[in-house]
Amino acid sequence: MAATKVIIPRERLVALQQAYDTLCLYLGFHDDEKHFARQILDGYSVAPFFAEYRHDYLEAEAEVENIDCDELFRWCRSNNAFALPKYVSSKTPRKGSWTALDHATRFLVRVLLFSWDNGGDWNHGCFDPDNDQDFESDKEFHQVWAILRYLQMEWEAANIEEWEGDGLSETLAGMLSSRL
């Protein structure tokens, strides 16, 4: 059964557009290229993994969390997430005791591994921040986290009554300026 398209209230669209514009810059797309970001968000290397995240986390939890990029990075690094079957496997594991970090980690790991294995938008091929001289794996990690946060923001705008935005634009703008 196909998911029903939920209409986002008009008053929330400005915050979403600002976040989308900032996400586009973060992904390296400028004004005439912004449609490429939407193609990534809706494409085969992101959409099925977000569908799992949405179903197993966003729609299943009473309260959802906004996962901090640095916290997720430390979690993935300290838990060797790219080698753990519960995050890597194409089979959906039992998630009864999973935290928000577990769900975000699985999304991020699955998106990057799929992209690396299938010639997708990210092609560095590994997550090894300790030996990454050009910081390419860090860049890919941060971009996929930003995509997750944006897609979660879209979902929240459409589904959470008390939504007021989450500062994603400011977070990404700060990350962008720290890279320049």
Please write the tens of the pLDDT for every residue from 117-152.
998 888 888 887 777 666 777 889 999 999 999 999
Q: Find the radius of gyration of the CA atoms of the chain.
A: 16
Place of tokens 């294995």: 117
**What is the CB neighbour count within 10 angstroms for residue 75?**
18
Q: What share of the chain is helix, strand, coil (3-state, %, to 5)?
A: 65, 0, 35
CB atoms near residue 164 (< 10 Å): 10
| pLDDT tens by residue, 84-108 | 999 999 998 999 899 999 999 999 9
Q: In the chain, where are the structural domains located?
A: 44-159
For the entire predicted model, the pTM comes to: 0.89
